[in-house]
Amino acid sequence: GDSVTQMEGPVTLSEEAFLTINCTYTATGYPSLFWYVQYPGEGLQLLLKATKADDKGSNKGFEATYRKETTSFHLEKGSVQVSDSAVYFCALSGRNNDYKLSFGAGTTVTVRA
């Protein structure tokens, strides 16, 4: 079945540092790929998405490119802020009529001032 493997955390960075969170997936066909973010005590918020190969999703300085050849969707941000401290989840939707998201384990990111 579909699955997502995500870089384990926790990750601790200083403000203005570069952030990368690796995400690879296994799926049949052409899934849609997502990054969600969860702040303490809240639900999941969509950060960005990509629906086909070579698409780049971007939002709030975060970017991720759908790489079909390496089955990857790594999240990057060039200069993190304290407010980026959160848990980040990589997810896929198989578009194979199973109507669900498959999630990675989540990566906790802490940014220190």
- CA-nearest of 84, 64, 65, 73 to 16 is 84
Exactly one of 106, 107, 109, 111 binds another protein (CB under 8 A); which one? 106
Residue 68 CB, nearest distance to another protein (Å)?
Answer: 15
Q: Which part of the chain contacts another protein (CB under 8 A), choosing from 17-25, 58-66, 68-76, 98-106? A: 98-106
- What distance lies between CA 100 and its chain's CA centroid? 16
Torsion, Cα 17 45 11 15, to 10 degrees, reads: 20
Stretch that binds another protein, among 19-27, 62-70, 73-81, 90-98 (CB under 8 A): 90-98
